[in-house]
């Protein structure tokens, strides 16, 4: 398999449609977090990678003359790659009810049931009463899957891990194929509606915000922002 840097798969994707979708998703996540994070508050980015989102959010807040917010990431595997970004490898470092906003961006699709439950439990533990949770996940159900899989085939120079029948059933009948054997490296069989259901079992959920075309149905969009308001 061709080794393609993550940035080239997302924000710097050679396909202009995919690139636009990823940049729209990032812009939406930055704008929403900036709105719900109180002045001087604390934001935790769960599954922060090397800290790219936190670095971008810090720059956005600085442009608004906001420099007293604490932005911290959680990632047990990735080293920090951005100056001034704070990342912890153990969530026990984050006290109970100490966080105003948690972001979980493009992470849930790579978590199994046990890992998802652990994430949700930790989110509930660290959030303050009335805190906010922002989750973004990809949409791979509906016509969008045809565009995504074609783009992925060209980028990685290999055939899709879906059969033709699976692609057509998923695109036009919204029939979800079985999950990939390695969900850490594939979106095959991921259903964003399952994540929405898991969240709604714990918290009140705002209407999903589809990106990059919020006026179109989910199947014509690339990502969805799920925004929950934690009950106080």
DSSP codes joined into one string, 185-215:
S--TT--HHHHHHHHHTTSEEPPPEEES-TT
Instruction: For residue range 151-210, list pLDDT tens digits in order.
Output: 888 776 778 889 999 999 999 999 999 999 999 989 999 999 999 999 999 999 999 999
Q: Is the pLDDT score of 13 beyond 70?
A: no
Instruction: Give the confidence band of 5 by pLDDT, cuts at 50, 70, 90.
Output: low
pTM value is 0.91
Instruction: Give the confidence band of 33 by pLDDT, cuts at 50, 70, 90.
Output: very high
> What pairing do the DSSP bridges indicate for beta strands 204-205 and 223-229?
antiparallel
Cβ-Cβ contacts under 8 Å for 17 (sequence gap 6 or more): 147, 151
Structure tokens at 157: 């120079």
Structure tokens at 202: 């714990």
For 172-196, b/e burial (b = at least 16 CB within 10 A) is: eeeebbeeeeebeebbbbbbbeebb
Residue pair 87/55 in contact by the 8 Å Cβ criterion: no
CA distances from 121 to 54, 115, 145, 161 (A): 22, 10, 31, 32
Q: Is the pLDDT score of 11 beyond 80?
A: no
Please give the pLDDT value at position 154.
Answer: 76
């Amino acid at each position: 398999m061709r080794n393609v840097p993550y940035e080239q798969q997302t924000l710097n994707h050679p396909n202009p449609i995919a690139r636009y979708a990823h940049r729209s998703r990032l812009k939406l996540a930055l704008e929403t977090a900036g709105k719900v994070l109180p002045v001087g508050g604390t934001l935790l980015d769960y599954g922060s990678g090397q800290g790219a989102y936190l670095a971008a959010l810090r720059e956005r807040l600085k442009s608004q003359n906001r420099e007293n917010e604490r932005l911290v990431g959680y990632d047990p595997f990735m080293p920090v790659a951005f100056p001034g970004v704070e990342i912890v490898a153990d969530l026990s470092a984050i006290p109970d009810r100490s966080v105003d906003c948690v972001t979980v961006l493009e992470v849930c699709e790579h978590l199994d049931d046990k890992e998802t439950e652990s994430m949700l439990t930790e989110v509930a533990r660290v959030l303050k009463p009335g805190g906010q949770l922002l989750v973004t996940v990809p949409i791979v159900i509906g016509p969008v899957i045809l565009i995504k899989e074609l783009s992925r085939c060209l980028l990685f120079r290999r055939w899709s891990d879906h059969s033709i029948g699976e692609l057509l059933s998923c695109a036009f009948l919204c029939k979800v194929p079985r999950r990939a054997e390695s969900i850490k490296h594939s979106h095959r069989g991921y259903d964003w509606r399952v994540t929405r259901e898991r969240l709604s079992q714990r918290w009140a959920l705002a209407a999903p915000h589809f990106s990059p075309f919020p006026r179109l149905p989910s199947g014509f969009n690339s990502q969805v922002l799920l925004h929950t308001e934690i009950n106080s």
